[in-house]
Amino acid sequence: MTKQPKTRVSVRIYGQDYTIVGTESPAHIRLVAAFVDDKMHEFSERNPMLDVPRLAVLTAVNIANEYLKLKQEYDRLAAKLKEEKDGEDDD
């Protein structure tokens, strides 16, 4: 297995600077950071009374919800693809 080089990328999320270390490309890391920044701003507009820790946790919950729903949908699709593949093999 090739060891992926680690990249360090500085990003700003909700007014704070973070250094993200990962094996993903800097472009991908910036995309992820922008996604979280957008979500936090969206959430704070809808809930202006929330302090930053609670806002961040609820943003994490929101993203986790989308992730777990997509995971179910992905597993369903993968099973369907496998089923069709197995069907073809039977021919």
Q: Given the rule CB under 8 A, which residues bind a second copy?
A: 13-14, 16, 18, 20, 22, 24, 28-29, 31-33, 35-36, 39-40, 52-54, 56-61, 63-68, 70-71, 73-74, 77-78, 80-81, 84
Q: How far is the CB of 3 from a second copy (least distance, A)?
A: 19
- Asked if 33 and 13 touch (Cβ cutoff 8 Å), the reply is yes
User: Based on CB atoms, which residue is closest to a second copy, 2 or 11?
Assistant: 11
As beta bridge partners, residue 21 has 8
The conformation of residue 6, written as its DSSP 8-state character, comes to P
User: Chain centroid to CA 45: how far?
Assistant: 21
